[in-house]
Amino acid sequence: MQDELKFFNELVSKLLIKEQQEPVVNPLPTTSVISDLNLGFQDEGMGEEEWKKLVEDAVMHTPRTATKLFFNQLYGGRQPKAVLGDLLAVLLNNSMYTYKVAGPQAGIEKTIISKACSLVGYESGDGTMPPGGSMSNFMALVMARDAAVESTRNKGVTNQMTLYTSSASHYSTPKNAAFAGIGRDNVRYINTNDKGEMDVTHLAQKIEEDLQNGCTPFYVNATAGTTVLGAFDDIAAIADICEKYKLWLHVDGAYCGGVIFSEKYKHLVNGMERSDSFSFNAHKMLGTPLSCSIIVTKHKELLTKSFSNDAEYLYQTDADDFDLGKTSIQCGRRNDALKFWTLWKSVGNKGLEKLVDNQFYLADVAREYVQNHPDYTLYSFPDSISICFNYKNIPAKTLCTALYEDATAMVGYGQFGQDEFVRLVTINANNSKEEILKFFEVLETGALSLQANS
Ligand SMILES: Cc1ncc(COP(=O)(O)O)c(C=O)c1O
């Protein structure tokens, strides 16, 4: 292992320098990436030096998501303490299903879950760390399904169950509806206002319609940070409706649920304590490496009912509450807790708050820039870390693709209603105001050369 660690250190040192010099890599064409980097397998293994060269090539050609010019997705940057935690998790290689195998790592995960419950406002909840926000949403849906129709766990779905989510919500909801046996056709898409927030009147209408048609409404998904506009649904207003019709309320905070750490921004999820479950991705706003998703619920017993199963070959000590396999979706499960804990312990609650607040600050910087420059059109609103805009009426797809192909910046585009626009996500809390302004400079230079070449 010592040799590999030495190589790892050398390689990472080179990568960190490269990230500074060339924040964006030249993309390799899909038609030749496998042959260009010799990714295929041979019968014989390869010599050490040749192997090192090959690994280095693959690493150096990989898109750089931790740099100052990566804005393409809803994560970015690098928190060194969290990276170290993840490296240690790989090295320790515990599986999180039992206390016997995970030991203190199970205690670490339980501590995170317990603190998340108290931040959300669940007095005696529980939770787990699924492999991503989509799976957190899936677990919420399964708990809601089983709670609504008790027999489902054993007999499967027998009646037409309907669920509600806004048209701006994440695509995992219809996928999950299919996985859970509810069916994609039973997902009702609720209109949004022009800010991308769920229209609560429309929600009530849709529920009434379904009741009149003999369906069983059971679940509403509210979003804290929609994927494109970064909008926050009005949780308190949605909770009123869920309480009236006795529906499970899940808050999908995969993108921006991290606001629970911020005194200044947690008002965006007001009413969250009235929800039945709440999820957030620490690998988004909280800067932890992928994946690090947390779901908590106020119904501890329902989490166990939906996800536990006897398995004598697995549960062999009397550790119950520390046998985390009894509340998780997987059997063998990687340790996603340690990286979040190493970061959190190091910076404290206040450090996590600073990460979140800085993202909103950077978003204000970007929004202000767009608003003050007449060549730009702005599509997004305050209290969002997605800054959506167009520049000089250049189609967003054309501009983003040109920046990617020229290896000048990684930024994506999105759509809301009829509008398609560039979506700048200020989620890398390591960025400064200057770096956000630099992004616009890079974009404008890219647009100039695009226009010159067309
Ligand atoms: C609102 C929302 N929910 C869920 C997800 C899915 O999270 P994951 O990519 O971790 O599965 C995303 C991802 O961007 C999201 O924006």
User: Do you find a cis peptide bond into 136, omega within 30 degrees of 0?
Assistant: no
227 lines ligand 1 (CB under 6 A): yes
Could you tell me if the CB of 74 is within 6 A of ligand 1?
Answer: yes
Ligand 1 pocket member 253 (CB < 6 A): no
- Determine which residue's CA is closest to atom 8 belonging to ligand 1: 133
- Ligand 1 centre to CA of 54 (Å) is 33
The residue-averaged pLDDT of 65-73 equals 96
> Which tens digits make up the pLDDT trace of 346-391?
999 999 999 999 999 999 999 999 999 999 999 999 999 999 999 9
Whether 390 is in the pocket of ligand 1, judged by its Cβ within 6 Å, is no
Query: What is the pLDDT at residue 293?
Result: 98
How much distance in Å is there from the Cα of 435 to the middle of ligand 1?
26
DSSP 383: S
- Ligand 1 mutation pick, 75, 255, 285, max ligand atoms within 8 A of CB: 255
Q: How confident is the model at residue 312, as a pLDDT?
A: 87
Please give the share of the chain, as a percent, with pLDDT higher than 70: 100
Query: Would you say domain 94-341 falls under CATH 3.40.640.10?
Result: yes
Alpha helices in 213-315, H assignment, sequence order: 235-245, 300-307
Sheet holding 376-378, edge to edge: 70-71, 410-416, 419-425, 386-391, 376-378
Of 188, 158, 159, nearest in space to 173 by CA? 188
- How many Å lie between the centroid of ligand 1 and the Cα of residue 310? 31
Average pLDDT over residues 162-183: 98
Helix 433-453 to helix 396-405 angle, to the nearest 10 degrees? 100
The tens digit of pLDDT for each residue in 224-248 reads 999 999 999 999 999 999 999 999 9
Mean pLDDT across the chain, nearest whole number?
97
Q: How confident is the model at residue 196 (pLDDT cuts 50, 70, 90)?
A: very high
396 touches 390 (CB < 8 A):
yes
Cα 454 to ligand 1 centre (Å): 36
Is the C-beta atom of 358 inside 6 A of ligand 1?
no
What is the arithmetic mean of pLDDT over 124-135? Answer: 97
Mutate which of 72, 134, 173 to test ligand 1's pocket (most atoms within 8 Å of Cβ)?
A: 134
3-state secondary structure 329-346: CCCCCCCCHHHHHHHHHH
Q: Is the CB of 284 under 6 A from ligand 1?
A: no
Q: Tell how far the Cα of 6 is from the centroid of ligand 1, in angstroms.
A: 36
Rounded to the nearest angstrom, the distance between the alpha carbon of 212 and the centre of ligand 1 is 33
User: Could you tell me if the CB of 170 is within 6 A of ligand 1?
Assistant: yes
Q: In this predicted structure, what is the pLDDT of residue 318?
A: 80
130-144, 303-317, 422-436, range with the lowest pLDDT? 303-317
Helix (H) or strand (E) holding 106: helix 104-120
At 316, the pLDDT band (50, 70, 90 cuts) reads confident
Looking at ligand 1, which residue's alpha carbon is closest to its atom 5? 133
171 alpha carbon – ligand 1 mean position (Å)? 8
Q: What percent of the chain has pLDDT over 90?
A: 96
CA of 50 to the centre of ligand 1 (A): 39
H-type helices in 286-427, by residue range?
300-307, 337-372, 396-405
CA of 11 to the centre of ligand 1 (A): 31
pLDDT at 194: 96
- Convert the pLDDT of each residue in 81-90 to its tens digit: 999 999 999 9
Residue 317's pLDDT band (cuts 50, 70, 90): confident
DSSP annotation of 224: B
- What is the pLDDT at residue 111? 98
Expressed in angstroms and rounded, the spacing between residue 438 Cα and the centre of ligand 1 is 28
Task: Check pocket membership of 134 for ligand 1, CB cut-off 6 A.
Answer: yes
Q: What is the pLDDT of residue 454?
A: 79
Q: How many angstroms separate the CA atoms of 182 and 150, rounded? A: 15
Mapped onto helix, strand or coil, the DSSP state of residue 165 is: strand
Q: What is the pLDDT of residue 319?
A: 77
- Whether residue 68 has its Cβ less than 6 Å from ligand 1: no
Atom 16 in ligand 1: residue holding the nearest Cα: 227
Distance from Cα 290 to the centre of ligand 1, integer Å: 12
Q: Give the position, in ligand 1's atom list, of the atom nearest the Cα of 137.
A: 4
Cβ–ligand 1 contact at 105 (below 6 Å): no
Q: How far is the CA of 189 from the centre of ligand 1 (A)?
A: 17
Residue 244's CB: how many other CB atoms inside 10 A? 10
